[in-house]
A = this chain, B = another copy of it.
Amino acid sequence: MYSMLDLHQRTSPLQWLLIAVAQKWVATLVCDMKLDLKAKRITQDPLADISPWDTLNWHSRQILNDMSKVITFRKETVSEHRLFIVLSGVMAVRRELSDGRWTFSTLFKAGDIIDTERHERIHQGKLMALNSVDVMLVTSETFRQCLTTTPDINRVYSQVMRILAERARDHITDLACKTPTELVASVLFEFKRWPQSIQINKSDTVVLPISRRNIAHYLGIKPETISRVFNKLETQQLLQVPLADHVIMLDAPKIRQIANGGHPRGQG
């Protein structure tokens, strides 16, 4: 940049050309630097793009970033940490019965905060990464203190916790009354709302973020049943399954209707 200013002092036609070329080159260089800076800023402030943490003011995010570090769980990893924010991927609480049956009681996606520190009771289940998962690790004491000192963070924290409680109640409702067909229809819409890792322009395409086997464990049914449900819905022209993890909703309203209880027992 300084050399460019120097060039300006003594101008000749050739030099003008050189200057023009140099300017262009420098411009692209600066542009690249800006992009690089932006990329760097994003990696340093990963919450900026994740709802609802993007509603934090810059200062609050700065506090959070300063007290935390970003780490990655590889697929199938069990986390010993019990307090962090999910940045990408899917984590789950795996809970087991004594004879080996188990379920994913909760799924956590980007933006969710996982706060399952032990209180009096011991067994809470394992925290597992179903994908490669980026998380933002915070230390318990600092974070708890920060919740009392920074109302902005407390606001978002309690908002997320209430959304999670609401999702849990949704899930309970599903498990308690829905038939497998309705369960699958519901979970399609649940995944549809999630931030898709692969951006699909077709808005009616849902990318299943986890394997069907894991979906089955989340819904409390068997993988075979999920397969049969997809078959049935496909023959009814309600959806298409071009790939194992891609579902195209052909008749979203009808699927929505099924998800809300439109397929009780005794309707084939």
Taking a contact as CB atoms closer than 8 A, the residue among B95, B98, B102, B164 that contacts A257 in the complex is: B98
* Given A105-B173, A148-B148, A162-B117, also A98-B168 (CB < 8 A): no
Interface string of A214-227 (1 = CB under 8 A from B): 00011110000000
Please measure, in the bound complex, the distance between the C-alpha atom of A264 and the C-alpha atom of B98, giving whole angstroms. 10
Contacts of A141 in B (CB 8 A): none
Q: Contact at B173–A98, with CB atoms within 8 Å?
A: no
A126-164 vs B, Cβ < 8 Å mask (1 yes, 0 no)? 000000000000000000000110010010001101111
Whether the Cβ atoms of B169 and A124 lie closer than 8 Å is: yes
- Chain A positions within 8 Å of B, measured between CB atoms, are 93, 95, 97-99, 101-103, 105-106, 115-117, 119, 121, 124-125, 147-148, 151, 154, 158-159, 161-166, 168-169, 171-173, 175-178, 182, 217-220, 257, 260-262, 264
Can you identify 8 A-B contacts, CB atoms within 8 angstroms?
A: A95-B172, A97-B182, A105-B169, A105-B176, A125-B169, A148-B148, A172-B172, A175-B176
